[in-house]
């Protein structure tokens, strides 16, 4: 006998409760518990047992060869994925509405279809005609690219069995529903069950599957956090609406690094790859302006030069403002405290603003020294040299700590024509700098300020 059971699930973390709660006990979010209905079918104990198809094997006898990968035709996407798409993998792509997720996947589908691979593009938000109009604009016209407008999981499964694709795109997972689940499309139960269904399809038939996910107003992928644990790779497509370039960032990847980023530029004919992102981020940098410095940051295996801008101005309020964009707010407060305590700068009556130009977010501690120099330059109203690159981690005692991959950062600065690099002296060991660039090793923040603001 089938029995309808009512429960309440959190739309943020997926935690279930037999009654409604104003605050989720799992993640602490308010007003996120929604009603879900599920059908409970009572079966006998023998029929409900799980039948294992594989026997346990010794880990020594398991082949550990490299996973075969399929080149996507886009170098930036290959970099983020770790070298290409792994057959049978399940990939989740999230991003703001209109950022270019469907454009990226349609271009990727066309590139794979051009290699004689069968690609099935399931559109749940647009009709087949709308998808064709976008494909005409992007030039994504290939006979092996099949398009279907469907939201029913059972009918999608029938299409997969008939087509037998090598690459599958579901755009988007929030629009797909399972008729056996008594919940509305996009609900916690539907998203969870549909994702589990496509995971079984991907693993069982070896089909590389990409799911497009909506994001919440906080920027996280909508649905329970269980969704991100089920997939093999989670990619975020980021970018500012007022800028033409987009960043593809991996936050989870079972087949590669999670620190890589891919940079694209949005144009009339779709997304184009940016081969040298440092030139893009520094294209509008002003020269000889107080508060502006260039930092060498590592994004995965790629060094990227980005401009840091700081503005320090007298405050008219009892408590000064501390605002940062692209850098952790708490890290900025730590740097200001070090400048006050160790370098004698009286910043308690000053508002401080710190911005990473271009909308990039820098998370590594190697940007500390450049942020400190930017704040000190704006506070003293003394410009830095226009062809200096600064990087290093700052400790609470005012020392400058070594950072990893210093040689790659210096070579990137030398390639772009910078004349001088201010960096931790402990990072100078074990390699030789390229000719034509001056290296200044510093041990404290005071030494770095005297070298940069001389």
87 annotated ligand binder:
no
99 annotated ligand binder:
yes
Length of the chain: 454
Residue with token string 């090598």: 166
Distance CA 114, CA 151 (A): 26
85 annotated ligand binder:
no
> Which DSSP symbol is given to 83?
S
Backbone angles phi, psi at 199, to 5 degrees: -65, -40
CB 201 within 8 A of CB 211: no
β pairing state of 302-314 and 245-253: unpaired
101 annotated ligand binder:
yes
98 annotated ligand binder:
yes
* Residue 415: partners with Cβ closer than 8 Å, 6 or more residues away: none
Local structure of 189: helix, strand or coil: helix
β pairing state of 245-253 and 233-238: antiparallel
Residue with token string 């020294």: 369
* Residue 321: partners with Cβ closer than 8 Å, 6 or more residues away: 315, 351, 352, 353
Half-sphere exposure of residue 274: CA atoms within 13 angstroms, side-chain side: 20
430 annotated ligand binder:
no
* Residue 419: partners with Cβ closer than 8 Å, 6 or more residues away: 385, 387, 388, 437, 438
327 annotated ligand binder:
no
Question: Where is the binding site, in residues?
Answer: 95-102
Question: Where is the binding site for ATP, in residues?
Answer: 95-102
């Amino acid at each position: 006998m089938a029995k309808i059971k009512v429960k309440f699930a959190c739309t943020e973390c997926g935690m279930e409760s037999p009654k409604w709660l104003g605050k989720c006990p799992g993640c602490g979010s308010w007003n996120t518990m929604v009603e879900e209905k599920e059908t409970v079918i009572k079966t006998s104990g023998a029929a409900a047992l799980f039948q294992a198809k594989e026997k346990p094997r010794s880990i020594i006898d398991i082949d550990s060869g490299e996973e075969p990968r399929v080149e996507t035709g886009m170098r930036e996407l290959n970099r983020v994925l770790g070298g290409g798409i792994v057959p049978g993998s399940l990939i989740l792509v999230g991003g703001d509405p209109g950022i270019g997720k469907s454009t990226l996947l349609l271009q990727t589908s066309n590139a794979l279809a051009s290699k004689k691979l069968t690609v099935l593009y399931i559109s749940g938000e647009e009709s087949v005609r709308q998808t064709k109009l976008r494909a005409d604009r992007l030039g994504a016209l290939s006979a092996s690219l099949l398009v279907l407008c469907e939201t029913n999981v059972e009918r999608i499964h029938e299409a997969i069995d008939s087509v037998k694709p090598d690459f599958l795109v579901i755009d988007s997972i929030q629009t797909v529903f399972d008729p056996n689940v008594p919940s509305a499309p996009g609900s916690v139960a539907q998203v969870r069950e549909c994702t589990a269904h496509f995971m079984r399809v991907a693993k069982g038939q070896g089909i590389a599957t990409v799911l497009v996910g909506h994001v919440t107003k906080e920027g996280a992928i909508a649905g329970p956090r269980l969704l991100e644990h089920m997939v093999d790779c989670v990619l975020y497509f980021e970018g500012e609406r007022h800028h033409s370039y987009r960043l593809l960032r991996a936050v989870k990847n079972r087949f590669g690094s999670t620190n890589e980023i891919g940079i694209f530029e949005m144009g009339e004919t779709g997304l184009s790859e940016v081969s040298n992102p440092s030139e893009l981020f520094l294209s509008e940098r002003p020269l000889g302006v107080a508060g502006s410095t260039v930092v060498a940051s590592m994004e995965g295996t790629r060094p990227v030069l980005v401009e840091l801008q700081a503005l320090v101005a007298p405050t008219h309020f009892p408590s000064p403002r501390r605002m940062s964009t692209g850098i952790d707010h708490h890290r900025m407060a730590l740097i200001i405290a070090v400048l006050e305590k160790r370098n004698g700068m009286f910043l308690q009556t000053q508002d401080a603003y710190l911005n990473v130009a271009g909308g990039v977010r820098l998370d590594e501690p190697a940007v500390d020294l450049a942020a400190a120099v930017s704040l000190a330059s704006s506070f003293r109203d003394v410009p830095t040299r226009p062809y200096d690159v600064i990087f290093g981690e700052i400790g609470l005692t005012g020392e400058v700590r070594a950072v990893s991959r210093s040689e790659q950062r210096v070579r990137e600065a030398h390639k772009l024509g910078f004349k001088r690099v201010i960096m931790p002296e402990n990072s100078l060991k074990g390699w030789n700098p390229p000719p034509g660039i001056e290296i200044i090793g510093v041990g404290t923040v005071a030494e770095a300020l005297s070298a940069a603001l001389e």
